[in-house]
């Protein structure tokens, strides 16, 4: 089925297992630094009907993929979401409009499926804003110096932590993850867990998985591995890297942090991909023992159905705000929207603030303030005080954060 056609390329859904496997191999070639898939059957890694291929002269030269999932928005609602991934074009066919054709076709397909939002992780930061995507959450990298790290005595309680075998604990991990509720979290469908299993199988060296909670009441887990296993025995800087940290309660967060801080033989614990407002340094008597080593963009969000997206999240105040939104790729979204005590609806009123759909995506989860968008030239205030009102309206108690790569 052809979704998009130009004078040079056709974009269509890939249905055969051979085509899907070729698309997976093509993506790895396009990314240059990714390892090959080792001939694995791709059918359990890709959702049927969601892998797109771009063809020129009958040759597969580009691909894009997605998973059906959900995204948690302010207020706790889980909205229909497309997790966009595996976008790549062969290096011999770049600068020919193939990526544009793929993304246009994919957005049309996402909209037709009734998915309210889409998100991706961008390998290049200058590509996706022109398609309506924008940075909606960021992640911080922390480093814990265990030689200086002394936990405060008055921290809250936590439960037992035990080591488990990941190969036999998949259902347990999925059940724990299904309880997550923080703003910005996304679903991990079966295809994601299959990908995780593949990553684990191809990783070199040992890895470990610890689960928090009594059997039957588990509420968190952390996976980690040694960074320098080959020199471990005689090393003077033994480093552990956290691969995944999921806590669905404060007790789980504290218990898993206690576990990491108490690991014997370890000098440094690196925790990449954590919330930018993670309270980790505050847990230690020496706050400098846990330091931020970097902050990077995480979720690139695309609002696919503006009215539904605005209606499904919660707000901090009920005084009216009228937003003007433009969307050149999905023009049905273009228009004016009123947010007030009665809810969100389309309006014919003049906009208090105007922006494009990418600007709205930045502010939607509460991670970027409207005042900052205005300073950056991405939003325009038409009524005095509207930016301050919008910042209060869209504010969230915590910074949005996903914590899931895909």
Report, as residue numbers or ranges, the catalytic residues: 128, 406
CA dist 200 and 184 (Å) reads 25
Angle (CA) 101-103-105 rounded to 5° is 65
Q: Is 390 helix (H, G, I), strand (E, B) or coil?
A: helix
CA dist 94 and 98 (Å) reads 7
| Residues whose CB falls within 8 Å of the CB of residue 222, separated by 6 or more in sequence, listed in order | 209, 210, 242, 244, 245, 246, 256, 259, 260
- Find the Cα–Cα–Cα–Cα dihedral 284, 208, 163, 139, rounded to 10°: 40
Tokens of 55: 């063809």
Cα of first residue to Cα of last residue in the chain, in angstroms, is: 26
Give all strands of the β-sheet with 10-13 in edge-to-edge order. Answer: 2-5, 10-13, 52-56, 59-72, 78-89, 117-120, 300-303, 134-135
Tokens of 355: 């922006």
Q: What secondary structure letter does DSSP report for 111? A: H
């Amino acid at each position: 089925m052809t979704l998009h056609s130009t004078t040079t390329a056709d974009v269509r859904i890939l249905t055969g297992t051979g085509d899907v496997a070729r698309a997976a191999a093509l993506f790895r070639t396009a990314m240059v630094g990714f390892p090959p898939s080792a001939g694995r059957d791709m059918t359990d890694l890709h959702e049927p009907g969601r892998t797109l291929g771009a063809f020129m002269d009958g040759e597969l030269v580009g691909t894009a993929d997605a998973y059906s999932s959900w995204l948690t928005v302010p207020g706790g609602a889980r909205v229909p979401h497309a997790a966009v991934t595996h976008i790549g074009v062969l290096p011999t066919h770049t600068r020919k409009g193939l990526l544009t054709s793929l993304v246009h076709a994919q957005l049309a397909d996402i909209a037709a499926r009734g998915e309210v939002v889409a998100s991706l992780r961008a390998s290049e930061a200058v590509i996706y804003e022109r398609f309506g995507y924008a940075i909606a959450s960021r992640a911080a990298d922390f480093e814990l110096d265990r030689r200086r790290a002394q936990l405060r005595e008055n921290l809250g309680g936590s439960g037992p932590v035990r080591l488990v075998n990941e190969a036999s604990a998949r259902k347990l991990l999925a059940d724990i993850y299904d309880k997550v509720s923080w703003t910005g979290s996304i679903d991990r469908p079966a295809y994601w867990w299959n990908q995780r299993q593949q990553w684990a199988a191809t990783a070199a060296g040992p890895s470990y998985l610890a689960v928090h909670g009594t059997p039957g009441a588990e509420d968190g887990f952390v996976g980690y591995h040694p960074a320098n296993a080959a020199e471990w025995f005689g090393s003077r800087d033994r480093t552990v890297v956290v691969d995944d940290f999921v806590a669905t309660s404060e007790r789980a967060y504290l218990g898993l942090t206690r576990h990491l801080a108490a690991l014997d033989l370890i000098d440094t614990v690196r925790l990449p991909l954590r919330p930018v407002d993670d309270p980790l340094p505050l847990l230690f008597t020496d706050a400098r023992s846990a330091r931020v080593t970097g902050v990077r963009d995480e979720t690139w969000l695309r609002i696919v159905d503006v009215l539904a997206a605005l209606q499904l999240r919660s707000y901090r105040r009920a005084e009216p705000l009228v937003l003007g939104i433009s969307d050149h790729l999905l023009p049905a979204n273009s228009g004016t929207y009123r947010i007030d005590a009665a809810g969100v609806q389309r309006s014919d009123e003049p906009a208090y603030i105007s922006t494009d759909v990418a600007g709205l995506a930045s502010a939607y989860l509460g991670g970027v303030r409207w005042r900052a968008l205005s300073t950056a030239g991405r939003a325009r205030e038409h009524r005095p005080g509207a930016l301050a009102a919008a910042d209060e309206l869209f504010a969230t108690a915590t910074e949005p954060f996903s914590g899931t790569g895909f």
